[in-house]
């Protein structure tokens, strides 16, 4: 077994001495002080006055020698021009044609085609209204009415209307002056009240109303009512003074489209007073119930 020669002892001692001298010569960063800086007395650093380093205060802004005057009404009008209403809303012309009833009726005297329509054209305040209703029985016209009315809005829900009404049937044609009120009463009750002044001093009053009961979003039940009163007897047209006629109906419609709705229902009408007497003289019943089948349209 070989043995390595031992390192000379004098060389080892010389190396240890060099390491020790190097450690003593390294500066101590923690213990570094400014005391060793030449020309600086102890405590001079802490006693140094930093006031000389303060910045000079900013000069105050000078006020305008000419003050800005307060704006006047003329200045405001010149800066902001007067804004007028939007013509697209103020002057828009719209229209609607509603065929409220176009129906077949199973009457005692045979099949009857009946209609009731309303149409208007105009703006939000003033409109031209057209109304028409009538009946044809077995191909013969039993009743035809046409009204042309000018309507003026007197509130959000009511229009004042006035114009003319022309009766083509029954009997000879007759012309009426008309004035009335139409609109929506409480709970969305559509109503019409129209007074008429006819030829020969005849007067009349018509009351109409209908109401939509929504059974679902598309299934709607509509009760209707109409009352006609006259000022004097008119045997030629089968009309008596006072309460002459009344009609009520109940129609159930289904809106396949908002503009197209088929319906079925019943209608009951009755004549009163001398009007009932005239009906009996013609061989008609003063009271009659009818099954109706029709369609409701609007454009």
Domains and CATH numbers, the chain: 92-298 (2.40.160.40)
- The pLDDT of residue 128 is 98
How far apart, in whole angstroms, are the C-alpha atoms of residue 230 and residue 236? 14
Predicted confidence (pLDDT) per residue in 35-62, tens digit: 444 454 455 444 455 555 555 666 666 6
Nearest by Cα to 162 from 183, 182, 180, 184: 180
Predicted confidence (pLDDT) per residue in 114-137, tens digit: 999 999 999 999 999 999 999 998
pTM attached to this predicted model = 0.70
Cross-strand bridge partners of residue 258: none
Q: Does the structure show a pLDDT above 50 at 176? A: yes
Q: Does the structure show a pLDDT above 50 at 269? A: yes
How far apart, in whole angstroms, are the C-alpha atoms of residue 220 and residue 217? 8
- Provide φ and ψ at 71, rounded to 5°: -60, 140
Predicted confidence (pLDDT) per residue in 1-22, tens digit: 444 444 444 455 555 555 455 5
Query: Do residues 129 and 120 make contact, with C-beta atoms less than 8 angstroms apart?
Result: yes
Predicted confidence (pLDDT) per residue in 92-112, tens digit: 899 999 999 999 998 877 789
The dihedral of CA 60, 64, 65, 71: what is its sign? Answer: negative
């Amino acid at each position: 077994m070989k043995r390595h020669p031992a390192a000379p002892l004098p060389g080892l001692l010389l190396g240890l001495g060099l390491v020790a001298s190097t450690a003593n010569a390294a500066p101590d960063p923690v213990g570094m002080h400014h005391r060793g800086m030449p020309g600086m007395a102890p405590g001079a650093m802490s006693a140094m006055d930093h006031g000389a380093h303060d910045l000079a205060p900013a000069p105050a802004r000078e006020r305008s020698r000419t003050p800005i005057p307060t704006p006047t009404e003329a200045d405001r009008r010149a800066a902001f021009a007067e804004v007028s209403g939007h013509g697209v809303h103020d002057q828009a012309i719209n229209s609607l044609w509603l065929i409220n009833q176009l129906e077949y009726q199973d009457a005692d005297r045979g099949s009857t085609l009946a209609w009731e329509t309303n149409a208007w054209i105009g703006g939000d305040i003033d409109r031209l209204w057209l109304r028409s209703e009538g009946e044809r029985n077995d191909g013969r016209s039993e009743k035809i009415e046409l009204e042309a009315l000018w309507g003026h809005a007197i509130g959000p829900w009511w229009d004042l209307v006035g114009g003319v009404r022309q009766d083509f049937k029954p009997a000879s044609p007759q012309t009426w002056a008309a004035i009335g009120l139409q609109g929506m009463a409480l709970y969305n009750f559509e109503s019409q009240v129209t007074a008429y002044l006819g030829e020969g001093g005849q007067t009349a009053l018509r009351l109409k109303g209908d109401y939509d009961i929504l059974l679902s979003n598309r299934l709607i039940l509509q009760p209707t009512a109409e009352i006609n009163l006259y000022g004097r007897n008119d045997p030629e047209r089968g009309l008596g003074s006072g309460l002459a006629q009344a009609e009520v109906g109940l129609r159930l419609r289904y809106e396949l489209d908002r503009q197209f709705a088929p319906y079925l229902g019943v209608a009951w009408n009755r004549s009163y007073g001398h009007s009932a007497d005239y009906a009996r003289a013609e061989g008609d019943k003063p009271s009659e119930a009818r099954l109706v089948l029709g369609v409701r349209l609007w454009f």
